[in-house]
A and B are shown apart, each in its own frame.
Chain A
Amino acid sequence: MKTLNIIERIEGEAKLVCTWKENKISDAQIQFLNFRGFEYILNNKPALDALIYTPRICGICGQAHLKATAEALENIYKSINEPLYITDKAKLLREIGLNIEIIDSHIKWFYIFIMPDIAKLSKEQKYLKYEALKGESWRKGTYAASESIKALAVFAGQWPHTSYMIPGGVMSDPTLFDIITMQNYMDQTLHFLEKELIGTDIEKYFSFDSELDLDTLNATLSDFKNLCFENDLHILGKSYNSHITLSDTSLFESGRIEVKNRLLVDLSLIDEKDINTFKINEQKKENEYTWAKTALYNNKPYETGPLSRALISNRKLIKNIHKTYGDSVFTRVMARMDELINLVFITKKLIKQIDLSQESYIPAKIDLKDIESATSISTVEAARGSLLHKVTIENAIIKDYDVITPSVWNLGPGIGDKFGIAQKAIIGADSIEKAHIILRSFDVCSVCTTH
């Protein structure tokens, strides 16, 4: 038997075609049918305009794309042996900006996008508070997200769609009171997490080493855990359990894990395949069913995102949960929430480290226009996983712009008899509702997937 479902509420739309055997999904095809062509749009545009364009690849990951563009252009200077000097202040403001965006994204994703679905699996009255639009917890989630994003607006001017990062630094010049305002917003976010999400203070949370610790609390995470265990989400949703993270930050380490071994990443082994992908201006072939491409490392599929980041940088609680429950929905979502809590904690520290006496921006000595031709790569950790930009410019005009988004790693089609990451995770589910939740556990973004 085959079924076809349209999946909404994933920042766009996708189709899920499932083959069923003995009431379980035995094959799943994830189709992304919408394409906006950003890589085409960027062709022949002035290089600096990419700072305006790429954030608009995704309304929620704009800062990740902005940072990737700014750093790819900086790496152009490196490639001609004229590296720009970026002050620590500028570096901090960029990382803080990106972190706040991820914090906002994680809160929204959890409260707005996945909890309403998970809560629906139960008929119990007490979970009605997670209902979309009406539920008290849903509303508190949107409240907390919009309060936390203010910390970014303080120095970036607005969110979404600000382009305050630029090769050479950042455009803003915050005051000490701005720094305190940012701290205040982060403190409020932390307060929300302690009260609503965790149910205890953060120090206590950091002492947790097993999911059993959640049972002592009465907050969203314990509700989430109970719902997962009642519905087998701690067993479902397993994929290859191979993980990749492409860049380092204050919280994350780059690397990859394969069968328990932690290994280094060599960016030159990353390849984007389009075997099953539609092509522009070409008659569609029978095997082509989606606009998503497939990202592979050394020809193998890897998962990217908060779970991968937690495992590679060795975060205790998630490591322990993963030991027992593998890369299940429960572990994957817990990793995202654990990341949220850690990010707020670390971002507060980073804000404090800003040295306001440093410059925000130091202009380049060489004009981009005077660089005849160069290519460079940058990598950034976005909410959903690792993002890679590769740009070629000629006299400050873009000749080629390639973007590999996190969702391409996680949601791209499988190749040959090798399933894609999310595809493999869905196989084995016994209901379409659960298949949707498994898919959603990857924080699906269709605009990011096909860009």
Chain B
Amino acid sequence: MMGGDRIDVPSGIDPFHPALAVPVLLAVVGLGAVIAVILHRKVASSLAGTGGSPATSAAAPLREARWLARQQVVTTERPDLATWILAPAAYLGLAVAALSVVPLSAGVAVADVRTGIVVFGAAEALAIVVIFLHGWSPNSPYALISAYRFVAVALSYELLSMFVLIAAAIPAGSLSIGAIVDSQAGLWNVVRQPLGLPLWLVVSWGVTFSGPLAVVDSADLAGGGGVEDSGLQRLAWAGARAAMLVVFAAAGATVFLGGWQGPVLPGGAWMALKTAALLAVLVVGDITLARMSAQRFVRLAWAVLLPLAFLDLLIAGLGSL
């Protein structure tokens, strides 16, 4: 998709050169992931009242990453090695692919294709497969249970994501995320479709298995999907997950908070501010909200949240008449 010369992008949007696009995206995602991890520790330590200890300094995550990268990688009996090793890379790749359709400022997108939200949704759906395979492949019971449990949760939040994105596309009259940002010139979607952003937060916690939907690498399964990971594998998985969190914050900022639009400051700065604000909400929720049991979430999702997503779609449709 990226920079294909026969796919003409909507007018006014200049895609980066493909050779430039991948490093730019990786840099954005990498920097964002480091910020997300540092933010997570700062908020957690200030909520717990343990600020100022060495473990909460900004350099601590980087030190720990360097330490993890040098640890021995251990393996299990008869794992599916290929999927196990490739899962973190594929998860990061999906985060980067999803970000490629999100405009970072007016006209600054790698591929603001006309089917932007469909591409984003495809990356999100493939993330379910990758997270499942990551838990399935070590051939280890807790990891396997977490993988199946995650699929039950994931199938329940996946529909929410589709409906809120479609609702945002209705006033824009386009599936392109750039067009969705343009459609919010008068009024942001967070006001126009008030149910959209809260549901998006649920989806974001689901895809990054954090906060109320921390059903994958959770303590109740002794580490779950990550229980058999070690060394570089553990680091790669944690990094990819932080990257995915940033991508969902960025997408939420464009779809619900008007993206690059705002007075005085340049578009990129507004986009960074809004992404950071949404990231902060996601991180605080991750730390403060208790994990729901998968069964309770599935009931909640199908009985309450899905009707709310329909209502969101109805509001969007009536508003555009």
Pairing of A with B: no
Residues on B facing A (Cβ under 8 Å)? none
